[in-house]
Chain A
């Protein structure tokens, strides 16, 4: 007679681990000074560990503590992280605590990540978009331990994550319901939470942190730095894309190009008579440059992936627009935001560092492996979409009886980057980086087939209208300036493309280049934004130059 299989091995292992640490854990609470012992006791060699590592929020106390554990006790960890953001996220590899990493974004550590992969100190499972990584937490990257951060915690162990909830719920759920161990660093322990974001039942250990978790204002752009070229491109985008396709819902990738669009809605958009006609619904972080448009009545709703430092009071005072709890503070959710960005938006507008002759774009350049983050998700056409909106439908090909619409994916770039090197290139640096970083595929951010429009200072290429790759390339060449790609442009071909509406120069759109001045911006500096917000917006120190 064969032995009965034990079907509860994970549960038993977890119970054993927690009971072995019972002298250091009171209810769910451990002392700050016991943090190292807790991690050494609850994390086993070879464990899959999620460390928060969000785009904005960093569980700094836990990451520093993890970097201090004894590699003899805790080693060969398989790390799963949305964002490699802090030096100690990589120190743990040099020091023999971790050996493998699956991640999405590495922007803040892109140089060191590249170097460590080249040196063999960092072994990468793969690079993902945010949504892909969250999805794998439920399939084949199910974590043994998750290390997350919360704002406030009550005596029962319920968590309040507030504005910067980001991906904490999706991470915690994957561990809580598969016998993973959930360890939380908390800024504060209080008697009563503003509201419960994550229930105590999902949480195993809470450690009060020695300092508040790190939070960066990543989505704030000072209007002072917006250039006339960006203003011209923004005017073309509003006229030639937002208006033309009747866009109702949008995500703006972070950057100065999109900040310029936001600040031109109340002025240029108003001149065009577009208020109330376009973009009432947004999936975007609460960026301050949206304040004038919100105050002027352009915006009905904004759902956000995360918060933005300094915007708290403004958001709390505008609950009709933002997603605000009964308690009056915002809740964000990156997983749902990415899902919405994928399926529920008419358009994505972003920028990039390089575009090749075919229209593929990448932010990965030699020596800097920045990963993907959310952009490929937002900047791709979801073939699983079925519902129709006017903008999506307007891209439906004429000649296909079984055809359907397409998401607008817009890349906005100047032909030359700030380093004076061409953005349009024959071959992406990413092709070389694939070899250097030993990746399976070239790390392309947005593929040509998903890119429907490219906007440069020369004009707009309506790529979705092209009927062959050769025509697509010609359209790109027409607006690629004097880059190696643009220099191949044939004036006769450009004339034809313009006549057929595949390429538009400013004059074809009725956009006046001499109107592209900074005075067209609804706000020209941070002080203007504060005024628009009626004093509710509180810029972080690094953006304050006048007080």
Chain B
């Protein structure tokens, strides 16, 4: 089975998303981390509740898929999703995952209390966006081109006032759309370098195994089979753009025969359509694992 498993980051969460998560697993995680997952809208304003909640949801789905006899050949996490991706491909152990994610959330919560965030520009190439960013970016008002989610979709990260300036320039220069995103942290930019260093230190005693397949890195958009780049991605992806479009491009070279989209949300519909056409896909945000498992097995046998 040559399947690509994709794990989104923050953005698609909703209150009640944990209701079908295996109770034993949830209890174990709450004990392990010494916290109670509230699964409410107001709880998801808190970074730890949000990040641990999303990863719990994804890990539970991975476990259910594995119990159904399914495994990935390629994994791609987006931002926070890299942890579940590393887990699914056999590199990161379950308990390590939750401890590290909690620490990541705590570090991120304190990093940029106010005045910073992210934006998005649609309809210009990355080179064009970088040229506009270069016009605005200054040490006192930093802004960077960050995540590349599709060929014509570039995120911005930095100080909100600087982001607003780039947004204005983008609209004047032919962007189809340009605006702020509801993200309160300048993720995936050099402004997060310190968090990356701290997280790497926190991960120093975490053992990683060689991926049992292909792991696609956020920080370089590469397909890797070794531990070192996986470790770099987990600890440091916050300081680098998520080169998601490149990840999907190189994943395409492996000719997967199916794509499994893990919860929460369906953020990658456009770029997956562009790269993979009508390749078989299942969406665990809308379909139970058992239904997904049925379809994937049917497709592998080559029957429709």
Contacts and interface: CB of A to CB of B under 8 A. Distances in A.
Interface stretch (A107-115, A269-277, A464-472, A517-525): A107-115
A539 to B, nearest CB: 13
B250 A541 contact: no
B48 interface: no
B254 A115 contact: no
Given A111-B250, A111-B253, A115-B222, A419 B151 contact: yes
A435 interface: no
A112 B274 contact: no
B249 A368 contact: yes
Contacts of B274: 419
A545 B221 CA distance: 34
A544 interface: yes
Given A115-B222, A419-B151, A419-B274, A544 B304 contact: yes
A545 B304 contact: yes
A368 B253 CA distance: 11
A194 interface: no
B252 interface: yes
Contact of A111 (B152, B225, B252): B252
Interface residues of A, number: 17
Nearest to B245: A367
Interface string B137-170: 0000000000000011000000000000000000
A111 B151 CA distance: 14
B151 A112 contact: no
Contacts of B225: 91, 94
A94 B274 CA distance: 28
B223 A112 contact: yes
B88 interface: no
B246 interface: yes
A227 to B, nearest CB: 15
A87 interface: yes
Interface string A493-504: 000000000000
Contact of A110 (B152, B222, B253): B253
A109 B252 CA distance: 8
B255 interface: yes
B223 A367 contact: no
A528 B37 CA distance: 58
Interface string B266-304: 000000001000000000000000000000000000101
Contacts of A544: 304
B103 to A, nearest CB: 31
A111 B302 contact: no
A43 B253 CA distance: 28
Interface residues of B, number: 16
A367 B252 CA distance: 13
Contacts of A112: 223, 250, 253
Interface in B213-234: 221-223, 225
A384 B222 CA distance: 45
A108 B246 contact: no
Contacts of A87: 253-254
A541 B221 contact: no
B151 A115 contact: no
A112 B217 CA distance: 13
Contacts of B255: 108
B150 to A, nearest CB: 9
Interface string B59-103: 000000000000000000000000000000000000000000000
A367 B249 contact: yes
Which of B151, B221, B250, B252 has the most chain A CB atoms closer than 10 A to its own CB? B250
Contacts of B249: 111, 367-368
Interface in A80-129: 87, 91, 94, 108-112, 115, 119
A81 B75 CA distance: 29
A108 B253 CA distance: 6
Given A87-B253, A111-B252, A541 B246 contact: no
B246 A111 contact: yes
Interface string B248-262: 011011110000000
Interface string A412-435: 000000010100000000000000
A115 B250 contact: yes
Contacts of B246: 111, 115, 367
Contacts of B302: 541
A115 B254 CA distance: 14
Contacts of A115: 221-222, 246, 250
A110 B250 CA distance: 8
Which of A87, A110, A119 has the most chain B CB atoms closer than 10 A to its own CB? A87
A119 B222 CA distance: 10
A192 B128 CA distance: 63
Interface string A25-55: 0000000000000000000000000000000
A108 B250 CA distance: 10
Contacts of A421: 152
Contacts of A109: 253
Which of A94, A111, A367, A421 has the most chain B CB atoms closer than 10 A to its own CB? A111
A216 to B, nearest CB: 9
Interface string A298-338: 00000000000000000000000000000000000000000
Contacts of A419: 151-152, 274
Nearest to A418: B274
A188 to B, nearest CB: 22
A87 B223 CA distance: 10
A67 to B, nearest CB: 11
B297 to A, nearest CB: 16
Which of A109, A112, A119, A545 has the most chain B CB atoms closer than 10 A to its own CB? A112
Contacts of A119: 222
B8 to A, nearest CB: 22
A368 B222 CA distance: 13
A13 to B, nearest CB: 34
Contacts of A108: 253, 255
24 contacts: A87-B254, A94-B225, A108-B253, A110-B253, A111-B246, A111-B249, A111-B252, A111-B253, A112-B223, A112-B250, A112-B253, A115-B221, A115-B222, A115-B246, A119-B222, A367-B246, A367-B249, A419-B151, A419-B152, A419-B274, A421-B152, A541-B302, A544-B304, A545-B304
Interface of A: 87, 91, 94, 108-112, 115, 119, 367-368, 419, 421, 541, 544-545
Given A111-B249, A119-B222, A368-B249, 9 more contacts: A91-B225, A109-B253, A111-B246, A112-B223, A112-B250, A112-B253, A115-B250, A419-B274, A541-B302
Nearest first, the 10 A-B pairs at minimum CB distance are A111-B249, A111-B250, A112-B253, A109-B253, A541-B302, A112-B250, A111-B253, A87-B254, A115-B222, A115-B250
